[in-house]
Structure 1
């Protein structure tokens, strides 16, 4: 049985209640339950026990993050959650510091992770797909979705977790294609979380 930690990184705003992120999580849980995954959940905007969250990371084979893109990153509540949990985890249970040694202080920075699982980001964004990977678009200047999420990827890499392909739901406020997104998402979950975990 595979063990998966599902983190809801949404932060409530009047114009963004979190229904879409919650729907993606429910769809993922339905598929994963059918495949006999063991699931633990956390909502970053709700009260949590930091030590218990560290234990969830250690327990999990896969960490699945469902989050909105918020000011080119993640929500402040999810960032606080990561600051709390990863900082405690860095004290020895999830990593052995920054990976360097006093004998070799110039090398291996960031490679002290002790976890051996994988992670996946699923992101809802108001940006259209065409805004990414396109040097003619002057805001992102050709960067990819994962380029934009690089600090988040590095956070998880620090602890030894390996990435699965990122899922993006685009243009969710101005030009949503929710039904098509759900189809793409289900296929993505089956390929990344189920087929690659066998």
Structure 2
């Protein structure tokens, strides 16, 4: 049986209650259960035990991270979770430090990861799809979604996780289309996660 850890990185605000992120987590759970995945969950704004989170990361074949795009990154409670869990796991459990060795101190920085699982980012964003990959748009200046998320991808790479294609639900605050997002997400999960894990 394949094993999935689903992390919900949403942070509650009165204007952003987390309904879209919750719906995407529920959709992922439904699909993965139908494919006989065993699933564990983490909600980063709630209480958790750091050592148990490390065990979940060691256990999982795939980590599905569902989170809002928040100030061009992730919410503070999710960042706190990463700081606590990944830093604790950095020295021998999830990675062998920063990957460098005394005999070659200038080589292999960031390549000490001990995990061999995969990860899939799923983001909800206020930005419309048209804001990305378009040099005519003055804010992002043509960068892609994954360009914006480079620090998060590097965090995963540090621990040895391999990427699956990122999913975005766009314009969720001003022009939300959650029913269509759920259809796209279901197809994405089946094509990316079910077929590749």
Structure-2 separation of matches of 1:34 and 1:46: 27
Q: TM-score, normalised by structure 1?
A: 0.99
Q: 2:170 aligned with 1:170, yes or no?
A: yes
Question: Alpha-carbon deviation of 1:193?
Answer: 1.2
Q: Which residue of 2 aligns with 1:56?
A: 56
Q: Deviations over 1:143-189 (max 9, x none)?
A: 00001000000000000000000000000011112111111000001
Alignment of 1:62-77 (within 5 A): 62-77=62-77
Q: In the alignment, what sits opposite 1:4?
A: 4
Structure 1: state its 5+ residue gaps. Answer: none
Q: Which runs of 4+ in 1 moved over 4 A?
A: none
Aligned to 2:46: 46
Give the C-alpha shift of residue 91 in structure 1: 1.6
TM-score of the pair, normalised by structure 2: 0.99
- TM-aligned CA deviation for residue 120 of structure 1: 0.4
Q: Distance in 1 between matches of 2:175 and 2:29?
A: 26
Q: Give the secondary structure class of the aligned counterpart of 1:55.
A: helix
Q: In the alignment, what sits opposite 2:99?
A: 99
**Matches of 1:107 and 1:30, distance apart in 2:** 43
Partner-residue secondary structure (3-state), 1:147: helix
Q: Offset at 1:15?
A: 0.3
1:85 Cα deviation after fit: 0.4
- Shift of residue 138 of structure 1? 0.7
CA distance in 2, matches of 1:178, 1:99: 41
